[in-house]
Structure 1
Amino acid sequence: MSSIELFAGAGGLAMGMARAGFQHSAVVEWDDDACQTIRENRTHYDSHGEDFVLFEGDARKFDLTPYAGDVEVISGGPPCQPFSLGGKHRGNLDERDMFPTAVQAVNKTMPRAFIFENVKGLLRQSFASYFEYTYLQLSYPEVVKRKSETWESHLARLEGIHSSGKRKPTYNVLFRLLNAADYGVPQKRERVFLVGFRSDLGIEWSFPEPTHSGDELLRSKWVTGEYWERHRIAKKHRPAPPEKMKKRISRLASDDLQGLRQEPWMTVRDAISDLPDPEEPSLLTLPNHVFTPGARVYKGHTGSPYDEPSKTLKAGAHGVPGGENMLVRDDGSVRYFTVREAARLQTFPDDYIFHGAWGETMRQLGNAVPVRLAEVVARSVSEALNGLSM
């Protein structure tokens, strides 16, 4: 099935789409280093051995005309800084807001489905009206904004159409806030997904259910001990259960262990413990696995514990991403994650090479969609579309 990837960044969502069986007709990204990363890793996007167009430039200038009526899915992560909790919170007033471009792409190509991803901040109360506006535009992409209209006036017109019930939405749109850790990603990363299917297809779809849970991680640590045994950590070296979790652990211990359907959350230790110590250069063989000095703890930036999913990797608005992309060692000291370690936390494969200086590659990773989460959502959409022809 053909797809177009907009705002591709380092390619996390695009790779997840390819793994789910989609073949990219075009990949669109404006950043030079991110484009170089994609070029160096093209085989990860060619799921059927076919080539694709890599458009390096402003997505608003990409000509979608040749793809009209001939693309199954459009996907992408419109730049999240306008809505990020760590950004300037300008929302639709931010010139980096690319949701209008995403809507226009849907209108011009009329794909059978679309998948768009953005930060949790998009659901903030202060952005509620604009989120509704985006949702309704994606539901009725052919109802375009008139030159004389403000976005508020356009929203009012869309609300009138939607509430009247006289016109069926062109796309049935669902959205949900997903935590990547719930799907086997070793990172607590909450992202909003907007998924739409063309209503004439009559598809019934819902978001995939979580496969991993925090409770099961607690159980594997403090009830069965399986987590520590798997990592060969002797009892005398295991930390004590957190005081605030003791009641919860007690409840888990009394639960029937039969019929468990979920796996434990993946942790930083699960993800990177087999990698060589980056402070021992003679041991390093993997690309992008280089130690960077200077990590320090300060208010709001304390790093990620070894035995939990990592905190959300951040791109950072000002150079190095705020000091939060750090590992807390067993002795309590901190160091920056290497690019390869951060890539593992985003579930990129080890042969995926990132282009650019350390700060730039960490920015690419901080903006990326975890590959595994992207694949889970994309595969669910693929199965729904494939079901039409069965």
Structure 2
Amino acid sequence: MVPVNAADYGVPQIRNRIVLVAFRADIPVDIAAFEKYVNTPQFSDTALWRSMLDEDGPYWRRHSDVSARARERARAWARAKLPKPTKEEDPKIKPWRTLRDAIQGYGTDAELPALPPVDLSRLDEKFDFGKEIGVVDHIGWPGARIYQGHTPNELDKPAKTVKAGVHGVPGGESVVLLPATRTARHRMDGRIITAI
């Protein structure tokens, strides 16, 4: 039994799970090598934070279109979250992928096309906004909202775990905070929200 977080394996989503792995007794498996591979981080939150700290760091070179204000807010978050290093992290460990990375198609083996921008005038209707580029089932959910216990996704962090199935009007996992530069519609705490 191994506890895993999908973000540690390059998935742009916080998804903590326990994985049960079993091998047939007649198959010669090097259990120690398997455990070492599973327990060796490939992506980390620390690497993400470090890539954000410098205004011209690798994260911001990928996302050069981000406003200075949004960039500084994300950098302040990174500075506040960066743990005191107990040892030097392996430079081969890659940064967690963020929601912004996923939306822009960054970080996959075969770079995917960026998702089209969401038309904020259509927030009150349910529509598949990826069809025009051949990406299906990215459907907006009208009525998705932020409320106590249901915090939104933020662009510069991995996405929250999205529930499967229909559970009524979705909460924070179906909401993304957008920079406050686009429109005054759907304002909460000075920032824009939109259903994804």
TM-score category of the 2 structures, normalised to the smaller one = 0.5 to 0.7
Aligned partner of 2:45 in structure 1 is: 214
Q: How does 1:38-187 map to 2 (within 5 A)?
A: 175-187=1-13
Distance 1:256 1:319 in 2: 46
RMSD: 3.1
Of 85, 89, 95, which residue of structure 2 is paired with 1:264? 95
Count of residues paired in the alignment: 160
Distance 2:94 2:130 in 1: 32
Distance 1:204 1:283 in 2: 43
Aligned partner of 2:187 in structure 1 is: none
Aligned partner of 2:194 in structure 1 is: 335
Of 59, 63, 66, which residue of structure 2 is paired with 1:227? 59
Q: How does 1:12-23 map to 2 (within 5 A)?
A: none
Unaligned runs of 5+ in 2: 105-113, 123-128, 181-190
Secondary structure at the aligned position of 1:221 is classed as helix
Give the TM-score, by structure 1 length: 0.36
Give the TM-score, by structure 2 length: 0.67
Q: How does 1:372-387 map to 2 (within 5 A)?
A: none
- What one-letter code is carried by the residue in structure 2 that aligns with 1:278? V
Distance 1:336 1:247 in 2: 27
Distance 1:230 1:181 in 2: 19
- What one-letter code is carried by the residue in structure 2 that aligns with 1:239? E
1:67-100 alpha-carbon deviations (Å, 9 max, x no partner): xxxxxxxxxxxxxxxxxxxxxxxxxxxxxxxxxx
Q: Give the superposition deviation at 1:235.
A: 3.9
Aligned partner of 2:160 in structure 1 is: 311
- What one-letter code is carried by the residue in structure 1 that aligns with 2:178? R
Change (3 A) 1:231 1:192: same
> Is the counterpart of residue 200 in structure 1 residue 26 in structure 2?
yes
Of 130, 151, 156, which residue of structure 2 is paired with 1:302? 151
Q: Give the superposition deviation at 1:321.
A: 4.2
Secondary structure at the aligned position of 1:218 is classed as helix
Are 1:314 and 1:325, in contact at CA under 8 Å, matched by a contact in 2? Answer: no
Are 1:315 and 1:321, in contact at CA under 8 Å, matched by a contact in 2? Answer: no
Distance 2:160 2:81 in 1: 24
1:31-86 alpha-carbon deviations (Å, 9 max, x no partner): xxxxxxxxxxxxxxxxxxxxxxxxxxxxxxxxxxxxxxxxxxxxxxxxxxxxxxxx
Between 1:231-240 and 1:181-190, the stretch displaced more is 231-240
Distance 2:88 2:171 in 1: 43
Secondary structure at the aligned position of 2:52 is classed as helix
Are 1:326 and 1:335, in contact at CA under 8 Å, matched by a contact in 2? Answer: yes
> Is the counterpart of residue 275 in structure 1 residue 132 in structure 2?
no
Are 1:212 and 1:264, in contact at CA under 8 Å, matched by a contact in 2? Answer: yes
Which structure has greater helix proportion? 1
Distance 1:227 1:292 in 2: 29
Change (3 A) 1:263 1:239: same
